[in-house]
């Protein structure tokens, strides 16, 4: 008698034998949950993810503490309570730049330790792996938002705007993080080198951070930096958030721009990953 009878039998969805297209929902949920669990079970990752933006506010945010507010408002071209209030949306936007790096590193780790092979030897498409990793990275970045807001409150910032606008701001950050995660993962789809994500992160972070209006208003920039700022989704996310936080208004076209950026990145990235995401 076969030993199979001693074991419970499993059933499969109907498309398992009949359809050439195998559903990907279950695989996506599993891989996305894996990304989140791996992140939040690592206390060091969690601590650094939370502390780093807090330190931005503490050190950078207070670098103009001795400057009279009127002079600061003249320099920044906006009425504010403090530079920390001005900076908060910018720091959160720039922190989304780097979340993609973690998704790339997680992918490279899976390749080098063979786990990517384990995944690809199941009915899981490369695009599903890619999307789960990208969304996992973006989700990780969102953890910083409540921490930063709490930190800003500690530094005496009082916020404007209604909850709907705040939700839209968080959405803009999520879209930005997702877009950059997609971009990172697409660029490193065929890489197995641990150093690649860090090198790319260093390469893109500084120009996109400073040429964005996230830390200082772009009206003070030279012409060539303004050209970059005009195409920089980090800047639009920062400006959208700043309008919500400081003025209590929303520039919806900025949110639309960030959404278009995310859509373009996910489209290109899915195409690239489907073709070039390697097992090892």
- The CA-based angle 109-206-244, given to 5 degrees, is 100
d(CA 207, CA 215): 12
- Closest approach, Cβ 5 to another protein, in A, equals 10
- Among positions 23-82, residues that touch another protein (CB under 8 A) are 23, 26-27, 29-31, 33-34, 37-38, 41-42
Phi, psi values for residue 277, rounded to 5°? -65, 115
Binding mask 119-138 for another protein (x = CB under 8 A): xxxxxxx-------------
- Closest approach, Cβ 75 to another protein, in A, equals 47
Would you state the structure tokens that stand for residue 20, as one six-digit string?
């050439």
Rounded to the nearest angstrom, the gap between the alpha carbon of residue 96 and the centroid of all alpha carbons in its chain is 4
Closest by CA position to 90, among listed 58, 56, 65: 56
14 in contact with another protein (CB under 8 A): no
Stretch that binds another protein, among 43-51, 113-121, 172-180, 227-235 (CB under 8 A): 113-121
16 in contact with another protein (CB under 8 A): yes
Q: Which is nearer to another protein, 30 or 217 (CB)?
A: 30
Binding mask 152-191 for another protein (x = CB under 8 A): ----------------------------------------
Q: Which is nearer to another protein, 58 or 120 (CB)?
A: 120
* CB contact at 8 A, 200 and 119: no
Q: Which is nearer to another protein, 42 or 63 (CB)?
A: 42
* CB contact at 8 A, 240 and 153: no
Closest by CA position to 241, among listed 155, 137, 152: 152
- Closest approach, Cβ 100 to another protein, in A, equals 21
Closest by CA position to 186, among listed 274, 93, 260: 274
What b/e sequence results for 201-230 when a residue is b if at least 16 CB atoms lie within 10 Å of its CB, and e otherwise?
A: beebbeebbbbbbbbbbbeebeeebeebbe
11 in contact with another protein (CB under 8 A): yes
Stretch that binds another protein, among 6-14, 48-56, 59-67, 200-208 (CB under 8 A): 6-14
Name which position in 3, 43, 163, 222 contacts another protein (CB under 8 A): 3
d(CA 118, CA 103): 18
- Angle formed by the axes of helices 163-187 and 252-276, to 10°? 30
279 in contact with another protein (CB under 8 A): yes
Summarize as ranges the residues that interact with another protein (CB under 8 A): 2-4, 6-13, 16-17, 20, 22-23, 26-27, 29-31, 33-34, 37-38, 41-42, 112-115, 117-125, 279-280
């Amino acid at each position: 008698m076969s030993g199979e009878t001693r074991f419970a039998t499993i059933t499969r969805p109907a498309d398992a034998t009949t359809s050439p297209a195998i559903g990907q929902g279950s695989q996506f949920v599993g891989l996305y949950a894996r990304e989140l669990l791996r992140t939040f079970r690592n206390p060091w990752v969690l601590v650094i993810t939370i502390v780093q933006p807090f330190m931005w506010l503490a050190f950078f945010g207070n670098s103009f503490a001795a400057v009279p507010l009127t002079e600061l408002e003249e320099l920044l071209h906006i009425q504010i309570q403090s530079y920390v209030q001005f900076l908060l949306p910018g720091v959160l936007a720039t922190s989304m730049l780097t979340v993609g790096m973690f998704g790339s590193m997680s992918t490279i780790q899976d390749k080098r330790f063979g786990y990517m092979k384990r995944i690809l030897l199941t009915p899981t498409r490369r695009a599903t792996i890619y999307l789960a990793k990208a969304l996992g990275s973006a989700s990780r970045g969102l953890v910083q938002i409540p921490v930063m807001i709490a930190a800003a409150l500690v530094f005496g910032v009082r916020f404007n705007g209604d909850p709907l606008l705040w939700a839209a701001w968080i959405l803009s950050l999520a879209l930005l993080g997702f877009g950059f995660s997609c971009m990172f993962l697409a660029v490193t789809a065929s890489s197995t080198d641990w150093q690649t994500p860090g090198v790319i992160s260093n390469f893109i972070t500084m120009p996109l951070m400073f040429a964005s209006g996230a830390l200082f208003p772009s009206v003070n920039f030279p012409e060539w930096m303004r050209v970059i700022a005009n195409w920089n989704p980090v800047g639009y996310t920062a400006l959208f958030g700043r309008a919500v936080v400081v003025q209590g208004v929303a520039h919806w076209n900025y949110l639309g721009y960030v959404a278009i950026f995310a859509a373009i990145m996910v489209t290109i990235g899915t195409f690239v990953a489907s073709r070039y995401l390697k097992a090892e």
